[in-house]
A and B are shown apart, each in its own frame.
Chain A
């Protein structure tokens, strides 16, 4: 639940999602769910020429299971809050 809550804080920020099939997509994080499925808006594919089929796609849904990385804006993270949340989570119920 920690990362789900964390991504909810990032809704509205621009992120780059790199998938396991090496496709990388930059877009605005519109929503996220418990499976870490991601919806991006106003997307732009990194290396567009390699993926011509993506040309007219503006918004997309990405299945959480295929995500390799989510690259975040450097100012998108409050590290201290993240640390505290992680320690709380690690302490257990």
Chain B
């Protein structure tokens, strides 16, 4: 990442144009973090203020607040600038509490393991990304 002068901010690949903006950071492990960019370096190490993790399971989502975060650049996949005029998520998605999303996420993971084990034992390898579970199965009655 090059260090840009003030004139170069709009043209170069430096993250300087994203400073003090609310961003979405995707990590290699699939974690989605949102927060305001306060600092960065040539390795794409990043400091996010007011960070929260957006956990999405099916149609349910929750923002878990994390505070001030330093992210090591090797884990960064993508840094996206959020357009404040557009909806961050599709309208059909339901916001739930932290406890609920943890519960649903644990259920999703145990089902995913069973699914993967079942299929690998039968000689079929299923990528975990292919699995879509009906979110209504997880809504508490």
* A57 sits at the interface (CB 8 A): yes
Q: How far is the CB of A59 from chain B (nearest CB, A)?
A: 5
Pair B30/A21 contact, Cβ less than 8 Å: yes
Interface residues on A, range: 20 to 34
Given known pairs A32-B13, A54-B24, A56-B87, the reply for A61 and B74 (CB within 8 Å) is no
Chain B residues, CB < 8 A from A21: 26, 28, 30, 77
Complex: how many Å from CA A83 to CA B57? Answer: 48
Option from A19, A52, A55, A65 in Cβ contact (under 8 Å) with B74: A65
Count: A-B pairs, CB below 8 Å: 86
Option from A30, A32, A52, A60 in Cβ contact (under 8 Å) with B78: A60
Complex: how many Å from CA A90 to CA B104? Answer: 55
Output the residue of A23, A34, A53 with the most chain B CB within 10 A.
A53
* A22 sits at the interface (CB 8 A): yes
Option from A43, A52, A60, A61 in Cβ contact (under 8 Å) with B89: A52
Chain A residues, CB < 8 A from B88: 53, 55-56
Produce 1/0 per residue, B75-102, CB < 8 A to A: 0111111111011111001000000000
* B140 sits at the interface (CB 8 A): no
Q: How far is the CB of A35 from chain B (nearest CB, A)?
A: 7
Pair A37/B86 contact, Cβ less than 8 Å: no
